[in-house]
């Protein structure tokens, strides 16, 4: 049973510098690599109105290519949108779904509906100028702990296609029918929507939750706390496998 990992809005490649997690995810910019049963998908996109659906199609294509009958799909931040959409078309093939400080959208919502005021303004300005992509923000907004990591993340970010945030997502409840769901929250990163997802997950027995404090991590958990993120994902896989044995 492997992981499929979808990155955030501005990430071109995995930004962590911890060698153990670099090996764990096995990421390389522009390609799909596997390491220890963990798979990663890079985000290079054409900039047009179908881009949101193309990202979902890539997740489906990756699963098909890797011949994974059952997978754990993981999304960070914006990655919560495509993994939610992919769940609609992967009924019976997702063993568990994990949201890493991520959006958990509802049917008909758009990215711009849930983004911060700062990000919405940047998006609207990009659209007004006729630009295909929303400019990358200052990496400090993600509350990354180490200054050298702020510089690293800043250097790796790429503009996000504007249509990703303006296209509504179509969901019918497939995500909710997945037996094992996990929400990982970096509480030091201010995002009211994420706080709401965490509270809802805590109240639902089909979800597990994990919290990292502001001293442990900012929004980019794979950068600030890669070992902890790896531990959580390994635990998720272990409990998923154990649950499958009991079924």
Active-site option among 77, 84, 96, 165: 77
HEC readout, the chain? CEEEEECCCCECCCCCCCHHHHHHHCCECCECCEECCEEEECCCCCCCCCHHHHHHHHHHHHHHHHCCCCEEEEEEHHHHHHHHHHHHHCCCCEEEEEEECCCCCCCCCCHHHHCCHHHHHHHHHHHHCCCCEECCCCHHHHCCCCHHHHHHHHHHECCEECHHHHCCCCCCCCCCCCCCEEEEEECCCCCHHHHHHHHHHHCCCCEEEEEECCCCCCCCHHHHCHHHHHHHHHHHHHHHHHHHHHC
Structural contact between residues 85 and 169, judged by C-beta atoms closer than 8 angstroms: yes
Active site residue 116: no
Other CB atoms within 10 Å distance of the CB of residue 67 = 7
Show which residues are catalytic: 77
């Amino acid at each position: 049973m492997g992981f499929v990992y979808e990155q955030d809005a501005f990430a071109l490649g995995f930004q962590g510098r911890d060698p153990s997690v670099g090996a764990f995810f096995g990421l390389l910019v522009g390609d799909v690599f596997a390491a220890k049963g963990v798979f990663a998908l890079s985000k290079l996109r054409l900039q047009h109105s179908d881009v949101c659906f193309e990202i979902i199609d890539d997740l489906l294509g990756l699963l098909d290519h890797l011949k994974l009958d059952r997978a754990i799909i993981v999304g960070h931040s914006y990655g919560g949108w495509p993994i939610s959409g992919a769940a609609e078309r992967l009924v019976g093939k997702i063993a568990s779904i994990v949201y890493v400080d991520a959006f958990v959208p509802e049917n008909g919502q758009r990215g711009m509906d849930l983004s911060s005021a700062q990000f919405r303004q940047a998006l609207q300005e990009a659209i007004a100028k006729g630009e295909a992509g929303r400019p990358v923000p200052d990496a400090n907004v993600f509350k990354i702990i180490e200054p050298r990591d702020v510089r690293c993340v800043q250097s790796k970010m790429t503009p996000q296609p504007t249509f990703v945030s303006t296209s509504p997502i179509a969901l019918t409840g497939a995500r909710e029918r997945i037996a094992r769901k996990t929400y990982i929250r970096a509480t030091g990163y201010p995002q009211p929507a994420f706080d709401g997802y965490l509270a809802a997950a805590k109240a639902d027995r089909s979800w597990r939750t994990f919290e990292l404090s502001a001293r442990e991590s900012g929004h980019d958990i794979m950068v600030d706390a890669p070992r902890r993120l790896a531990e959580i994902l390994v635990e998720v896989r272990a409990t998923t496998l154990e649950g499958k044995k009991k079924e």
